Chains A and B, each alone.
Chain A
Amino acid sequence: MPLDSLKNSIEKKCPEAKVAESDHSKTGWYLDVAIPAEKIVDVTETMFDEMYYLEAITGLDFKDGFQVLYHFNKFKTKERIVVRITTEKGKKVPTISSVYSAALWHEREVHDFFGIEFEGSPDMRPLLMPEDADFHPLLKEFGKVNAYLRMDEIYGDDK
């Protein structure tokens, strides 16, 4: 499988990574990589060397912390990888904008919506929110939402 070499290089850079294969026909991606937040730059460098592009950075708010998802893909058939980090509320996440220029806007957006700080980012101005906004609208505590859950309530205990 062509993803094996990528799997190896991720595990070399980050031995504590939990790499799980995922069913593309159900989820839309092939590899699900869970790593500690401080290793994100190392892993992203591997992705960049392997000619992946960054599709999106997504924030998720749970009762017991934030999850930040990085979707990577190649300009080829079916190569999608998800790298996910879990972070406690109030903790900073290292920026990957030094590797991917695209990350700068995505991180600004996540900062707008969730208030997650990206450490080392050269530009943390509000992107989509007004300059004087002092709230983060996608936090589950803001406005009306249907549910506010813990991570294990959605994913089970493995992530």
Chain B
Amino acid sequence: MAMINSEPEVTREYFLNLGPQHPSTHGVLRVLLKLDGEYIVEADPIIGYGHRGHEKMAENRTYKQFMPNPSRVDYLSGFIYNHGYVLAVEKLMGLEVPERAKYIRVICSELNRISSHLLWFGTFLMDLGAFTPFLYCFDDREVILDLLDSITGSRLTYCYCRIGGVAKDIDDQFIEGTLSFIKRLRSRWTDYHNLVTKNVIFIHRVKDIGLITKDIALKYGVTGPNLRGCGVPYDIRKAEPYEIYDELDFEIPVGEKGDIWDRYMVRLNEMEQSCRIIEQAIKKLPRGPIKASGVPVKIAPPKGEVYFPFESARGEAAFYIVSDGTEYPYRIRIRVPSFSNLQALIEVLPGTLVADTIAILGSIDIVVPEIDR
């Protein structure tokens, strides 16, 4: 007689490592998932694989020597970090920057924001299994990299801003190239929407999935497009305008409930707003010097501290600098948006499917080296 197992069947929970080497984790990130079948019970993101110690590096080099570091914190919006760092030091010193330099910095920052969003667009859709959009957006992104390369000399980790201005002036070729790029990008929106936004498979995979609500955002300090996706119009460029953002006319795109779809739409609309900012900035671009006169060779801000927030492509980033009056900073703290955004997944992921995890992870647009610093 066959043995009959009389014990009732129980579901067994098991652990799955997503990463650290997985194409959809965009860097070296490990997410330890506790699974019940295909459903996630617990998610524990494990970070730190790319920790380089930027904050320690700041303690033994001068303000000028630290210049190349910020763009390596978040290499996808490197210009914005480079920009934010010099702004923080300038604020600490009370330095006034010429108008033309401000405009040039904003134009480049917004170009960088578009390139970061385009890369997100491509990789996010590749995570979902769509390969073609990736080729389209990399084609567009290449133009931005060439444009920025022509004035900054680098394609990814820019070090173009200087304390008191920018390294060199932009030329007509750059301005014409930028304007024709914006024209080109606008003609591509239809392609993007036809290819992706109206795709029924895509819609089914992103609607009502991965909700980041306002409550979660408040508890975890989620900022950027992930926050705006749930309908909170919070953008540092509007809330605490720096440079010339208060003189320009642009909107903050917001979503409704905070699912992947909303975050997707917010980012696409943001690219259009960045185009508007660039157009206006180029139109208003004043003539004049590109570097403040009388910037000391030795940058030694007076004793004190400053917290300078700026809007990176992923949310609110900030430099908190403590100065002891010498040319070496006493402490530089870098607040990175992805750190808080990723942490919110501890609450967002449970209850979703493994396949949705990939979509959610892609939709919050993390850069892992930025989290690790």
A interface residues, Cβ below 8 angstroms from B = 26-29, 51, 53-56, 58, 60, 69, 71, 73, 75-78, 80, 82, 100-102, 104-105, 113, 126-130, 137-138, 140, 142-147, 149, 153-154
Contacts and interface: CB of A to CB of B under 8 A. Distances in A.
A105 B339 contact: yes
A28 B324 contact: no
B98 interface: no
A113 B51 CA distance: 12
Nearest to A144: B60
Nearest to B347: A101
A27 B91 CA distance: 8
A69 B333 CA distance: 11
B316 interface: yes
B322 A101 contact: no
Given A127-B47, A137-B53, A138-B56, A78 B239 contact: yes
Interface string B321-334: 01110101011010
Given A53-B221, A101-B346, 19 more contacts: A55-B335, A56-B335, A71-B318, A73-B309, A75-B227, A75-B232, A102-B220, A102-B221, A102-B343, A113-B55, A126-B48, A127-B47, A127-B48, A128-B47, A128-B51, A130-B48, A137-B53, A145-B59, A149-B330
Contacts of A113: 55
Nearest to A131: B48
B306 interface: yes
A26 B324 CA distance: 16
Given A75-B232, A101-B347, A128-B373, A60 B318 contact: no
Contacts of A102: 219-221, 340, 343
Contacts of B320: 56, 58, 69, 71
B307 interface: yes
Nearest to B62: A146
B208 interface: no
Give 7 closest A-B pairs by Cβ, nearest first: A28-B307, A146-B328, A128-B48, A75-B234, A56-B335, A58-B333, A102-B220
B330 A147 contact: yes
Contacts of B333: 56, 58
Given A127-B48, A130-B48, A146-B326, A55 B221 contact: yes
Interface string B342-373: 01001100000000000000000000000011
A146 B66 CA distance: 14
A65 to B, nearest CB: 14
B219 A137 contact: no
B240 interface: yes
Contacts, number: 113
Contact of B322 (A60, A75, A80): A60
Contact of A105 (B238, B343, B373): B343
Given A28-B306, A143-B60, A144-B60, A138 B51 contact: no
11 contacts: A27-B307, A55-B316, A71-B307, A71-B318, A75-B218, A76-B239, A104-B343, A127-B48, A146-B59, A147-B328, A154-B324
Contacts of B158: none
B47 A147 contact: no
B223 to A, nearest CB: 8
B330 to A, nearest CB: 6
Given A60-B322, A100-B219, A153-B324, A77 B239 contact: yes
Nearest to B50: A128
B214 to A, nearest CB: 8
A128 B272 CA distance: 36
Contacts of B308: 28
